[in-house]
């Protein structure tokens, strides 16, 4: 992987992004109920993030979508808090620093939107993701924030921006 770039999602990326997210769920055996897998807009990510204070990025490797992540206001939460959403990468992209670069880009965008804090939910067995989040300054919470609908994600973290 040499010629990858991080760019904003385009409408024509919708199918590839949905397929990528579903493939990571299958690979990691992530529960499909109470998680992002059930989100009704999973096949319409461009449209979902084409809203105020929202952005979704993809990692494009010579026309193939190999990673993705977004920022949006925390659903039914404090308007000064955003959520880092749907951060998924295909196996060949992991361990190359792309996740760190993607997170930095998302958090930079969150600051430019005026958010003061960033929230994230994840699964307890996703150790590499949690390591990445802790390295970026996220701290564990004792309870969820907002109402994301992701009742099967029992690890909650927050970062001051």
pLDDT tens digits for range 31-48: 888 888 888 899 999 999
**Domain residue limits at 47:** 4-115
In this prediction, residue 67 carries a pLDDT of 97
At residue 24, does pLDDT exceed 80? yes
pLDDT confidence tier of residue 118, bands split at 50, 70 and 90: very high
Based on the structure, what is the number of domains in the chain? 1
At residue 101, does pLDDT exceed 80? yes
At residue 27, does pLDDT exceed 90? yes
Average pLDDT over residues 103-117: 97
b/e map 59-95, b = 16+ CB within 10 Å: bbbeeebbbbbbbbbbeebeeebbbbbbbbbbeebee
Q: What DSSP assignment string belongs to the chain?
A: --SEEEEE--GGGHHHHHHHHHHHHHHHT--STTSGGG-TTTT-HHHHTSSTT-EEEEEEETTEEEEEEEEEEPTTS-TTEEEEEEEEE-GGGTTTTHHHHHHHHHHHHHHHHT-SEEEEEE-TT-HHHHHHHHHTT-EE-SS--S--S-TT--EEEEEE-
The answer to whether residue 14 sits within a structural domain is yes
At residue 1, does pLDDT exceed 70? no
Name the residue with higher pLDDT: 147 or 159. 159
In this prediction, residue 156 carries a pLDDT of 96
Provide the whole-model pTM. 0.94
Average pLDDT over residues 6-33: 94
The answer to whether residue 10 sits within a structural domain is yes
Mean pLDDT across the chain = 94
Read off the CATH number of the domain in which 10 is found. Answer: 3.40.630.30
In this prediction, residue 147 carries a pLDDT of 86
The answer to whether residue 93 sits within a structural domain is yes
pLDDT tens digits for range 44-69: 999 999 999 999 999 999 999 999 99
The answer to whether residue 141 sits within a structural domain is no
Q: By percentage, how much of the chain surpasses pLDDT 90?
A: 81
The answer to whether residue 151 sits within a structural domain is no
């Amino acid at each position: 992987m040499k010629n990858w770039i991080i760019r904003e999602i385009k409408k024509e990326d919708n199918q590839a992004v949905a397929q990528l997210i579903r493939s990571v769920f299958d690979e990691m055996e992530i529960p499909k109920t109470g998680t992002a897998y059930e989100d009704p807009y999973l096949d319409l990510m461009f449209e979902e993030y084409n809203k105020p204070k929202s952005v979704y990025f993809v990692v494009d490797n010579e026309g193939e979508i190999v990673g993705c992540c977004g920022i949006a206001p925390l659903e039914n939460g404090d308007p000064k808090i955003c959520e880092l959403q749907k951060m998924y990468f295909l196996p060949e992209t992991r361990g190359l620093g792309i996740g760190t670069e993607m997170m930095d880009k998302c958090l930079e965008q969150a600051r430019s939107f005026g958010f003061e804090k960033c929230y994230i939910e994840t699964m307890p067995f996703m150790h590499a993701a949690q390591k990445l989040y802790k390295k970026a300054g996220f701290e564990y919470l004792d309870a969820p924030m907002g109402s994301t609908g992701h009742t099967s994600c029992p690890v909650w973290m927050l970062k001051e921006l």
